[in-house]
Amino acid sequence: MTIAALLSLAPWALFAGVSGALAGFNPLHHSGPASPYFDAPAQFGILSTTPVQCSVDQAAYLVRHGSRFPEPGSFAGWQSLFAKLQNATYNAKGPLSFLPSWTPPIDDIPHDPLFLSSTGSREAFDLGVELRKRYRLTRGGDNFTVWSAGQQRVVDTATYFTLGYLSQGNYISAPGENRGHVITMPDSVNYTFADSLTPSAGCPAYSSGDTSFKATTFRGTYQSTIANRLNKYLDGLTLNATDIGVMQDLCGFQAEVNGDTRFCDIFTESEWLDYEYAHDLNYYYGSGPGNPFSATTGYPWVKAITELFVTGPNDATESSGSNFVPPPLIMSFTHDNNLPPAVSALGLWNTSELSGVYPLSAKSPNRRRTFRSSYLVSFRGYVALERLSCDEHDPPTSVKHIANQPILGPGASVNAQKYVRIRINNAVVPVPGCASGPGSSCPLASFAAYIKKRAAVAGDFVKTCGLQDVKNATNTLDIFTTFPSDAAQTSMLLVPLPYASAP
């Protein structure tokens, strides 16, 4: 079934959570990369539950780190706003009456910026618990391996995820069991090329395709108008467009840092939708389908996962030099700008079947778009691929059990067929032109053929990025099957460390 056909079946399902007509409008679901994690609404009317005749026997996730404190540049904006509010004599009323007493939610200025917040720690831990319950792909007590880019907030997210996923507390009596291994690699460097969870930094051509300035242009169409509206609540102080940008950012950040949502409450629904669309433009044209090198940098991860799905869980791969069999749940942790390239490589949210929607307009939002930053790069946002094992028919409604003869569960029969589904922040997103399987999934063989064709769109990493004359440049991501990986410069952390005996 085509995306156009799916759209015709459930045209309003795309916009659940946008119009707010049914559930109420929540600014935190429209704050782009500042949104604390939330499940994206269903798209195309596809349920997120696993089809009843299927089970998931293998899954792979590419995850942004959890909620964090601001980066130094953003924090400088917070400090400038605070100084402006404190250095003026003014009256504030109505929705802005809290401004004179507001302080930036940072209590450890030398250390907080950049790092994971307590909310981010919980988001990562909760994902571990959720996927343990959803899949049960590894036995409780087994050691478990995940992969992470090297910045502290990413490694911490991988660590808290692992602690949530591990299910038995043999930390003292059996220090060699129930341990997580976090394989880390250099973060945002230009010398590991495609063998990285931050590959755009290793593609010299990537920045030339970045036209995210369109987001700045679009912000210029609404921020001053918002400032004029809010200035009616101030006497002796004048807000400007820059202040509006900072204040809207603070909605999501303060909500996740200390639970303060007062900045969320002072903007209208339409102002939040403009704010979200500016982020959509930033990611679409910066690291997503609007950047011609986006698919190039996202393809190595997609190709590596597809090859593992074709091989199947718990089997050695055929690639040369492989010495490690990844677990059936393959978890990769990275940054926000490394998720849109995976979407580009998969050919999602950019279809020509939606006439007039893509490429995104730099002037006004089209509400039929499916590319929404809040549904992808929220804190702890993810792109996930699931390999489904499915029976031909639904389970029977009446089952006779014979003593000592276990009944096979869904998808466990020898005749079960294999399919692939994609989830983005839990919402199922169909593969373009391939949604004939259960739950709008794509037959595995068809998916592998589709990904092979996508190679022509993505281009060879080394050639497309202009690295032909660079020594050791590679277009292959081998971290899931090779440890240590010389090209990716991987190392390993143990989680949790064995307890030390008290002196």
Q: Is 43 exposed, middle or buried (0-12, 13-18, 19+ CB in 10 A)?
A: buried
Q: Phi and psi at residue 384, in whole multiples of 5°?
A: -130, 145
**Alpha carbon separation from 46 to 16, 438, 502 (Å, rounded):** 12, 10, 54
Is 106 in contact with 113 (CB distance < 8 Å)?
A: yes
The answer to whether residue 65 is catalytic is: yes
CA distance 256 to 340: 23
Is 280 in contact with 360 (CB distance < 8 Å)?
A: yes
Angle, helix 152-165 to helix 118-135, in steps of 10 degrees? 40
Is 137 in contact with 327 (CB distance < 8 Å)?
A: yes
3-state class of 83 per DSSP?
helix
**Residue 179: partners with Cβ closer than 8 Å, 6 or more residues away:** 143, 144, 166, 494, 495, 496
CA distance 112 to 105: 10
CA distance 340 to 338: 6
Is 121 in contact with 156 (CB distance < 8 Å)?
A: yes
Q: Choosing from 29, 30, 65, 335, which is the catalytic residue?
A: 65
Q: How many CA atoms are closer than 13 Å to the CA of 387, on its beta-carbon side?
A: 24
Q: Choosing from 156, 280, 336, 478, which is the catalytic residue?
A: 336
3-state class of 420 per DSSP?
strand
149, 151, 157, 162 alpha-carbon torsion, rounded to 10°: 60
Entry field: residues in the chain: 503
Is 500 in contact with 192 (CB distance < 8 Å)?
A: no
CA distance 124 to 319: 32
**Residue 234: partners with Cβ closer than 8 Å, 6 or more residues away:** 90, 91, 92, 93, 96, 99
First to last CA, the chain: 66
CA distance 126 to 90: 44
CA distance 277 to 376: 13
Residue 378 CA, distance from chain mean position: 7
The answer to whether residue 187 is catalytic is: no
Query: Catalytic residue numbers?
Result: 65, 336
